[in-house]
Amino acid sequence: LPVLPVTFVKASQRLSFFTIISTLGTPRDITLQELRIESLFPTDTVTTELMRTI
Q: What is the pLDDT of residue 29?
A: 72
Residue 1 pLDDT > 80: no
How far apart are alpha carbons 22 and 37 in whole angstroms? 5
Q: What is the pLDDT of residue 16?
A: 97
How far apart are alpha carbons 37 and 35 in whole angstroms? 7
pTM for this entry: 0.71
Q: What is the pLDDT of residue 27?
A: 67
Work out how many domains the chain is built from and give that number: 1
Q: pLDDT tens digits for 3-52?
A: 899 999 999 999 999 999 888 776 677 777 778 889 999 999 999 999 99
How far apart are alpha carbons 9 and 42 in whole angstroms? 14
How far apart are alpha carbons 31 and 26 in whole angstroms? 9
Q: What is the pLDDT of residue 52?
A: 94
Domain range for residue 10?
3-53
